[in-house]
Amino acid sequence: MEIILSETLGFCVGVRQVVDLAHECLKKASQKNIPAYSIGWFIHNQRVVKQLSELGLRHIEQPEDAPAGVALVRAHGITDELRNRFIQAGFELIDGTCRNVEYSQKIIRDVNKDDHIVIAGIAGHSEVTALSGVQDNDGVVIPSFVVQNTQDVNNLPHIGGRWVLMTQTTLPASEYKNILQAMKQKFGDSMIIGNHLCAGALRRNKALIDLCGQVEAVIVVGGKNSANTTALVHLVEDNGLPAFHVESAEEVTEQMRCYSIVGLTAGTSTPQSDIDEVYKALKGEML
């Protein structure tokens, strides 16, 4: 069996940064003899989370959950209200917010008071939550509408003013395109685009589409709770190929080895070690 690797796979820049900062968080906490925390799941990969947990990085959601210490802000960011509560509770924050998310939050913070913010994304996704929780200079949350599909766009109220379309930066391009078109049809010149999809995610998707033209099936490596990894699985299926979503080499099956040529890609939270082990398992070197 031949295995072709996607040209873009594994850790993105933002995830690589937050993993490095997780180690910095542990180091700083050790030097000060105080606890180290991650605010929410900083990466959607069980193995990486387990490794850092064993080193002492504890997962918490609220400042009330534990004594003050050094706390890592996840790559998807957090709401301004939650950030302020951690600071007021005496936590020292290490900010792992992806620069794309940070930029998106700044755009929302800088909009005119009469503008209406629309966030295209998955309701409840941590990035969408962070964008929905941006505060103005007076500490008031800037109102926003979250739309997951074109029907949600159709349900938006007909009110005056400018509409600013923001997006979850990792939203599948096809979903964003549909929402953007619906927004243009409904609001016309009253709508402007605030931010854009992550360029790295678009390159990853393009590389996967190219890969689909060369193989019979695709193995996608990544956390089952990772939205971007799940989106890669759907992209393979949309291109008419079988897709197999595995978290580790232990999930590789004989069915995956029955093809003459398969593709291998991975989500943004997948370390190179996981990719290498799945590759070996597909080759039958690690059963």
C-alpha 149/C-alpha 271 separation (Å) is 31
Q: Which of 127, 175, 247, 277 is catalytic?
A: 127
Domain count along the chain: 3
Q: Is residue 287 part of a domain?
A: no
Please check whether residues 261 and 223 belong to one and the same domain: yes
C-alpha 78/C-alpha 102 separation (Å) is 10
- Residue 127 known to be catalytic: yes
Q: Which amino acid is at 197?
A: L
Q: Is residue 74 part of a domain?
A: yes
C-alpha 59/C-alpha 40 separation (Å) is 6
Q: Which of 159, 193, 227 is the last residue of a domain?
A: 193
Burial class (CB in 10 A: 0-12, 13-18, 19+), 258: exposed
Q: State the CATH number of the domain containing residue 220.
A: 3.40.1010.20
Tell whether the model's pLDDT for residue 286 goes beyond 80: no
Q: Which of 167, 193, 219 is the last residue of a domain?
A: 193
**pTM of the full structure:** 0.90
Residue 207 neighbours by CB distance under 10 Å:
17
Q: Write the CA distances from 169 to 6, 7, 25, 193, 274, integer angstroms.
A: 21, 21, 26, 13, 25
The top-scoring range by mean pLDDT among 43-52, 130-139, 223-232 is 130-139
C-alpha 200/C-alpha 123 separation (Å) is 22
- Residues 242-267 have pLDDT tens digits of 999 999 999 999 999 999 999 999 99
Please check whether residues 245 and 274 belong to one and the same domain: yes
Please check whether residues 180 and 205 belong to one and the same domain: no
Q: Which of 97, 130, 156 is the last residue of a domain?
A: 97
Please check whether residues 203 and 276 belong to one and the same domain: yes
Q: What is the pLDDT of residue 287?
A: 44
Q: Where in the sequence is the domain holding 7, given as residue range(s)?
A: 2-11+199-282
- Residues 20-48 have pLDDT tens digits of 999 999 999 999 999 999 999 888 888 89
Residue 158 belongs to what H/E stretch?
A: none
Closest CA to 47 of 280, 213, 266: 266
